[in-house]
Structure 1
Amino acid sequence: MDTLHTPWDFNVGTQQFVAHDHSQSLRYQFDCLNEIGMGGPLRGPCLWVMPDGKEVQIHANCGGPPVWQQQGNYVAISIWKFSWLTSWTTQIGVLEPASKQLILFKKSFKALHLKQFDGCLITGVDSPIYLPEALQFDTSVATIERIIQL
């Protein structure tokens, strides 16, 4: 099993970017990645490589690394969002390949390090460097902010 990378250090050379059935994957545009702030987590465009090889941009401000659901082909990814009131925050997005939708959940976090996606539960750490908090995010009861058709 590959070692999970962090929001500060992730690359496409790991299995985290490939679905468990190897039919699809995610690909970051590494030449477009930027730090949120000096020394901060990375963000940038992430592409979904569909089973037919076609690539579709998931979002322009994706964090990483992603986590694929253990039972299926859903994938959770952090999405960075800017507000003049709170600066940069991140929220959880779940890509549903069958419907070609990205579901963005309303709850905001400081900096996400997603580690596992099992059933409806996404686990990881919020703010892994400064005052870390364990993350247990249940997508079945979480409030959806919006759904983006890809």
Structure 2
Amino acid sequence: MTKEEIYEKANSVIGIGGMTGNERLSASGLMTLFDKAKKHDKYLARTILQALRFDEVSISRIIGYSIDALKYPNAWDFPNKNSNGIENQNSGTLEYSNLNEIGMGAPLSGMCKLKINESKAVLVSENCGGPAIWTRNGQKIAIPIWEKSFFGGKFQRIGLLDLEKQTLTKYKKKFRVLDLRSFNGNLIVGFDSPIHKMKKVEFDYENEPIEIVIGIK
């Protein structure tokens, strides 16, 4: 069954918002396909649950916390280039290089530069993770940045690049492994530790304590 067919079945269900998970699977006729996919094709299982409007935390709990079940892009697999899609003087592209796992089977880290207006390139960090996410107007981008603790462990902070202010703001709050998804007003929305005790992140970048603000001019 194609992705389009799955969504067609899911969209045909009336009153899906008031149903339990099993009721959604049953009413859509996707129960049998889901049971098979859960065992043999976790990506397909995820697609079915997304079509039936399960939230991300519920999806991970149902199909298991594993890398192959994660939505793309994620901390283990994301593109080398991430553009804001603007083609004038406000264009910006985040470019990664030297991406490597921080440990065997662990998320990726690498050098990250912001290319502005197809000319100026600014080093963000030599230890950036992903995926990074742009605001809708393409003037801010949130990036997971890897750092080492005093005892040698690794953690992430959120970095926020602002093209209008020409600044990089690094925040104090620490995370294990970020999986950033979107901006919602002043909130950076995503998940922390997506394959082990996942927690939803709603990070208010206007009010969170700041570690440092760096000019990128």
Instruction: State whether TM-score is above 0.5.
Output: yes
Query: TM-score, with normalisation over the residues of structure 2?
Result: 0.62
Aligned counterpart for 1:18 among listed residues 79, 83, 94 = 83
- Which residue matches 1:61? 127
- Map 1:111-126 to 2 at 5 A: 111-126=177-192
Q: 1:104 Cα shift? A: 0.2
Aligned counterpart for 1:94 among listed residues 160, 172, 181 = 160
Is 1:44–1:60's contact at 8 Å kept on the other side of the alignment? yes
CA distances 1:27-73 after superposition (whole Å, capped 9, x unpaired): 101xx112122111101111101014221111111100110012441
The structure whose RCO (Cα within 8 Å, separation 6+) is larger is 1
**Computing the radius of gyration over CA atoms, which structure comes out larger, 1 or 2?**
2
Higher share in strand: 1
Is 1:20–1:68's contact at 8 Å kept on the other side of the alignment? no
- Which residue matches 1:140? 206
Q: 1:21 Cα shift? A: 2.5
- Runs of 4+ aligned residues of structure 1 deviating over 3 Å after TM superposition are none
**2:94 alignment partner AA:** L
Q: 1:118 Cα shift? A: 2.7
**1:116 alignment partner AA:** S
Identity over aligned pairs, percent: 38
Higher share in helix: 2
Aligned counterpart for 2:95 among listed residues 27, 30, 52 = 27
Change (3 A) 1:110 1:86: farther
Gapped regions of structure 1 (runs ≥ 5): none
Query: TM-score, with normalisation over the residues of structure 1?
Result: 0.88
Task: Establish whether residue 80 from structure 1 lines up as the match of residue 146 from structure 2.
Answer: yes
Question: What SS does structure 1 have at the residue aligned with 2:123?
Answer: strand
Question: What SS does structure 2 have at the residue aligned with 1:33?
Answer: strand
Task: Establish whether residue 70 from structure 1 lines up as the match of residue 144 from structure 2.
Answer: no
Aligned counterpart for 1:104 among listed residues 170, 175, 193 = 170
**1:5 alignment partner AA:** P
CA distances 1:63-104 after superposition (whole Å, capped 9, x unpaired): 001100124410000000001336000010000112221100
